[in-house]
Amino acid sequence: MEPIDEAIDERALFARAPSGTADFVVIANRLPIHHSPTQGTSEWRPSPGGLVTALTSVLQSRNGLWIGWPGVSDDIEAPCTFEGIALSAVAISADEYEEFYLGFSNATLWPLYHDAIRAPTFHRAWWATYQRINHRFATAAARSVAPNGTVWIHDYQLQLVPAMLRAMRPDVRIGFFLHIPFPPSELFTQLPWRRELITGLLGADLIGFQVPHAASNFSRIARRLVGATGTDSVLHYDGRVIRAGAFPITVDTTLITATVADRRVRERAAEIRRDLGNPEVVLLGVDRLDYTKGIQQRLTAVSEMFASGELVAGTHVVVQVAVPSRESDAHYDLERHNLEQVVSAMNGDHGFVGSPVIHYLHQNMPFEELVALYLAADIMLVTPFRDGMNLVAKEYVACREDLTGKLILSEFAGAAAELRGAFMVNPHDLDGIKESISLALKAAPSEIRARMLRMRRKVFRRDVSDWAQSFLSALNSGSAASESHEFDQSSSINSATDVATREG
């Protein structure tokens, strides 16, 4: 790997320096808290999300430490603890944020790993910064982890950390989990620094992916590019054994069940339907405003159904929540602009006074409001072009206790491998989306119940804490155990290559 300015002889440094004391260290791009200046005296608040929930209890019980970027500039000091967990903030300057986060992470890796839906941008300066920041995270972990401790690294922003950390601290056990897809070789090998990323990941003892196909993509590439040997689940490289497997992430079913049971949330769901004009059918989309999520195409399909009269203003209403995301990126800006044109054309063409056909919310909302929306929606539209898992689909299923509710789901979301009771669609096929919505609208209640029951059995089999435990026990036992048995691989499509093979 290229020399980097912060790199000194790590082996020598850590051989001399005393080790840290944390038995278990989590490294993620962000700390589990965020700065929110509008909230009065307490300016730091826990970040929502299953990852934080899943890891909090493990960290609390194991003298844990969470290393991450606090999300604000250095002049605002992040707290040292959160709910009894030690926090270690890694500083990232504004220029580094541009090159490491917006640049290499989100304009190179994100599109490349999502089927190159937008052309990935390759910049040598971004790559240099990516290496430097990864090294900074690895050094922070090397300084903090106790002898023979465990480090769990998360996601695509930190793929070099496993090998960097191993070089500094060969005594520790290292796990890595990728939350997004791992692309097939045809795409991955476009990356000028493809070998460095693969050897970076191979520094881990266990590499977890959302679906088995991603693990196979990785292992095949590792064999081809850097001469690793072995199978898709057990690789040999540099005299070590590296395991790769699928550990599909899931939702916090305990929190969702408690939220659904909350009378105020149920009343809010009823109120939402009243506010929408008591339509017969509410169709809902909830996505980060991201070009991978297929929002425009889905709404175009729905708009065509209003045009043809299959959907009728007043009877059918769409709610689209598009959570603001990566707003300083031009691709995201364009996506928002185009989406807002589709939304306004839908209302302009098909709505009438007092009955817009779509309600568009470009905002963050409390989790309780999200659950109220899930409860208010008859049809949930989840149609990403490519998605590591997609937790929205699982959250919707977890909310629908009464076994009503229909899920239209992209076959290219990791969740499709588990949620076989959904109405499956190819998100690029507008007619296919229309057909699935039609089928969902006409389906008999008994069919809907059977589909929802099938999906709920899957979702309630494991909580997000079970997901974390299963990864950590595989990491600590050194077994190749993955959760691949969760999948119905014969009926899911998980890569561009698979589609080509099927259709060819």
Interface residues with ligand GDG (CB under 6 A) are 48, 179-180, 249, 286, 288, 323, 364-367, 370, 387-392, 395
Element (H, E) at 28: strand 22-30
Minimum CB distance to ligand GDG, residue 138 (Å): 22
**For ligand GDG, which is the closer residue by CB, 111 or 149?**
111
Minimum CB distance to ligand GDG, residue 297 (Å): 17
**For ligand GDG, which is the closer residue by CB, 34 or 236?**
34
**Residue 234 token pair:** 């057990």
Minimum CB distance to ligand GDG, residue 291 (Å): 11
Spatial distance between the Cα atoms of 14 and 271, rounded to a whole number of angstroms: 60
Comparing CA positions, the residue from 434, 436, 441 lying closest to residue 302 is: 434
260 within 8 A of 397, measured Cβ to Cβ? no
Minimum CB distance to ligand GDG, residue 262 (Å): 15
65 within 8 A of 88, measured Cβ to Cβ? yes
Minimum CB distance to ligand GDG, residue 479 (Å): 22
10 Å CB burial of residue 354 (0-12, 13-18, 19+) is: exposed
**For ligand GDG, which is the closer residue by CB, 168 or 379?**
379
CA distances 463 to 68, 366, 467, 487, Å, are: 24, 21, 7, 16
Q: Where are the beta strands (DSSP E) in 367-497?
A: 379-382, 406-410, 423-425
**Sign of torsion over alpha carbons 48, 137, 288, 112:** negative
**φ and ψ at residue 187, rounded to 5 degrees:** -90, -50
Query: Is 327 strand, coil or helix?
Result: coil
Rounded (5°) CA angle 68-187-491: 90
**For ligand GDG, which is the closer residue by CB, 196 or 335?**
335
Q: Write the Ramachandran bin of 109: left for phi over 0, alpha for psi from -120 to 50, otherwise beta.
A: alpha
Q: Can you name the residues that pair with 234 across neighbouring β-strands?
A: 243
Minimum CB distance to ligand GDG, residue 323 (Å): 4
**Helix residue ranges, H only, 287-366:** 295-308, 330-350
- Tell me how long the chain is: 504
**For ligand GDG, which is the closer residue by CB, 245 or 388?**
388
**For ligand GDG, which is the closer residue by CB, 172 or 370?**
370
**For ligand GDG, which is the closer residue by CB, 179 or 273?**
179
**For ligand GDG, which is the closer residue by CB, 48 or 71?**
48
**φ and ψ at residue 78, rounded to 5 degrees:** -80, 150
Q: Write the Ramachandran bin of 245: left for phi over 0, alpha for psi from -120 to 50, otherwise beta.
A: beta
Minimum CB distance to ligand GDG, residue 462 (Å): 14
Minimum CB distance to ligand GDG, residue 161 (Å): 18
**For ligand GDG, which is the closer residue by CB, 99 or 252?**
252
208 within 8 A of 214, measured Cβ to Cβ? no
**For ligand GDG, which is the closer residue by CB, 3 or 366?**
366
**For ligand GDG, which is the closer residue by CB, 144 or 390?**
390
Minimum CB distance to ligand GDG, residue 197 (Å): 18
Spatial distance between the Cα atoms of 235 and 435, rounded to a whole number of angstroms: 44
Q: Write the Ramachandran bin of 296: left for phi over 0, alpha for psi from -120 to 50, otherwise beta.
A: alpha
**For ligand GDG, which is the closer residue by CB, 180 or 302?**
180
Supply the DSSP string of 201-227, one letter for each residue.
HTTSSEEEESSHHHHHHHHHHHHHHH-
Comparing CA positions, the residue from 91, 46, 42, 84 lying closest to residue 62 is: 84
Minimum CB distance to ligand GDG, residue 364 (Å): 4
Minimum CB distance to ligand GDG, residue 353 (Å): 29
Minimum CB distance to ligand GDG, residue 387 (Å): 4
Rounded (5°) CA angle 437-442-446: 115
